[in-house]
Amino acid sequence: MIEYLDAHPHVIVMIVTLLIWTGIAVYLWRLDKRLVTLENSTTTTQNQGSSSNPNDISSSAP
């Protein structure tokens, strides 16, 4: 195996590149999951409290 890799250095470059791209993809996937969780928690918090938007006519009396 070592002899093959010595004769074909492009394989090492491809393996390292694949590992880097896999790491970036996993990082972005985990970051997306965290952002979705944060968005859902802020949406839930905003829906539970009173409306702080003065232009929101749904909560004001006519």
Flag whether 25 is in a domain.
yes
The mean of the pLDDT values for the chain is 84
| pLDDT surpassing 90 at residue 11 | yes
Q: How far apart are the first and last CA of the chain?
A: 80
Q: Can you give the pLDDT at residue 36? A: 94
Which is higher by pLDDT, 53 or 6? 6
* Cα distance between residue 24 and residue 20, in whole Å: 6
Count of structural domains within the chain: 1
Flag whether 55 is in a domain.
no
Confidence (pTM):
0.62
Give the mean pLDDT of 31-53: 82
Flag whether 57 is in a domain.
no
